[in-house]
Structure 1
Amino acid sequence: MGTTSRSYGRPTTTSSWCEKTVGSCSSEEGTRSCGRARNTCSQWRKSPRRYARVTRVTTRTLVLIRHAKAEAGGADDAARSLAPRGRADAGAIGRWLAAERLGPERVVVSPARRARQTWDLAAADLGTAAEPVIDGRIYDNTVEDLLAVVGDAPADIATLILVGHNPSMAELAFTLDDGSGDQAARTEMARNYPTSAIAVFAIGAEWTALRGGAGRLVRFAVPRGGGG
């Protein structure tokens, strides 16, 4: 969902610019502009990657996913696995992301087993090649830690997914919401932020500048896979 604007090393494509500009100069013509054009195009032909396309992100998309349903707690919380229903729901998360065309460039996941399993199963149904980054700050479960994780994302990332836990996922969602987004989604999110919940925000700022009230809620969903 993240949108981009593209800038180039030369107006239009370099090849068409060279054809148009140099082609309009006669072989005898020795003006400074023609000389400059010939020199530029000569360098480009020798090194075609010199003026490679540059992608500049203008609108970013942040996706906050709470892990799917886990087995009952034990002594080692981080080792809890997904319950059968959670495994089915995790696949449904991936299918929902695919239907919404929310393929990420970067995914950051809590080290807890239930979160890692959630993303592994979701990614299989989404069909993404993005390798998850495991970050313990998501397991620390505070809004401040999540904002720090987001702030570490490279500037050219258009769509970023976090997979983590409550209460911090729900708290971050409510912190980011500027109130201008989808009202039905806001109402549903305010009702509950259950396991497998997904909140999608349009972000107009740099990742490093993300603050409260900086996001517009565009989607909220709780995909279910029908497992037992």
Structure 2
Amino acid sequence: MSVAEPRRIVLFRHAKADWPPVSDHERPLAERGRTDAAVAGRKLADTGIAFDLALCSTSVRTRETWKLAVHEFPQRPKTVYEERIYEASPGELIALLNETPDDAQNVLLIGHNPGIQGLADILAGESEGDTRARMSRLGYPAAAFAVVSFTGSWKSLEPGVGTLADYWAPTE
């Protein structure tokens, strides 16, 4: 894979979580979250993106979101459960993505707000069509995802280098 070929990062916020009396990290999905995670998985599969790698937070709700979403994919990508995604800032997420091997073209990052939304905003120096307007209007609700494309190595990923190519939220 050449670094001149476009790469894609899909920034997927976990689905709606429940609020039982457990630590934040251990919160499971709510019933609506389980439904939305599967729908989001179908929408992700419909993008036609063949993911080489999925990076998923270790929280219960992100792992459950991923399990339900990936079931809709034609092929399961290599999955790495990464504790650094939990409560990560956009800068910390960029640092994590900078570690991605260059043989990975398309990466799915399953995480949390405000980091996921902030990362989409920071990476996208440009946007296609009305994607930025839709993302601004709808916010980044649970189970939403954005597709950011860029050219270069993962080590070169930095603010403003990407294009917001697609955005989907369960409220659309």
Counterpart CA distance in 1 for 2:106 and 2:39 is: 19
1:194 matched to 2:141: yes
> What amino acid maps onto 1:185 in structure 2?
T
Paired position in structure 1 for 2:75: 128
Distance 1:134 1:74 in 2: 24
1:166 corresponding residue in structure 2: 113
Matches within 5 A, 1:1-228: 55-57=1-3, 58-72=5-19, 74-179=21-126, 181-191=127-137, 192-223=139-170
Greater mean deviation of Cα atoms: 81-90 or 67-76:
67-76
In the TM superposition, residue 195 of structure 1 has moved relative to its aligned partner by: 0.5
Moved more, 183-192 or 166-175: 183-192
CA distance, structure 1, for counterparts of residue 135 and residue 94 of structure 2: 20
Shift of 1:75: 4.0
* Structure 1 residue runs of 4 or more that deviate by more than 3 Å after TM superposition: none
User: What is the identity percentage for the equivalent residue pairs of Structure 1 and Structure 2?
Assistant: 35
Please tell me whether the aligned partners of residues 16 and 33 of structure 2 are also in contact (alpha carbons under 8 angstroms): yes
Partner Cα separation in structure 2 for residue 218 and residue 59 of structure 1: 11
CA deviation digits over 1:154-209, x for unaligned, max 9?
A: 10111001000000001111101113x22411011112111011100111121111
1:145 shift after superposition:
1.4
CA RMSD of the aligned region, Å? 1.4
**1:183–1:73 Cα change, 3 Å:** farther
Provide closer, same or farther for how the CA distance between residues 203 and 73 of structure 1 changes in structure 2, counting only shifts above 3 A: farther
Q: Match of 1:5?
A: none
Q: Distance in 2 between the 1:143 and 1:56 partners? A: 26
Give the TM-score taking structure 1 as reference length.
0.71
C-alpha displacement at 1:140, in angstroms? 2.9
Contact kept in structure 2, 1:67 and 1:164, CA below 8 Å: yes
Whole-Å separation in 1 of the counterparts to 2:105 and 2:98: 13
Larger helix share, 1 or 2 = 1
| Count of aligned residue pairs for this structure pair | 169
Distance (whole Å) between structure 2 residues aligned to residue 80 and residue 72 of structure 1: 6
Question: Structure 1's 79 and 101: CA in aligned 2 closer, same or farther, altered over 3 A?
Answer: same
The structure showing larger relative contact order (alpha-carbon pairs under 8 Å, at least 6 residues apart) is 2
In the TM superposition, what is the alpha-carbon distance from 1:73 to its structure 2 partner?
Answer: 5.5
Structure 1: gaps (5+ residues): 1-54
CA distance in 2, matches of 1:152, 1:56: 17
Deviation at 1:222, TM superposition (A): 1.0
TM-score (norm 2): 0.93
Cα contact 2:122–2:160 (8 A) shared by 1: yes
Spell out, residue by residue over 1:39-87, the C-alpha distance to the aligned partner (whole angstroms, 9 max, x if none): xxxxxxxxxxxxxxxx435110010000000102634111110111111
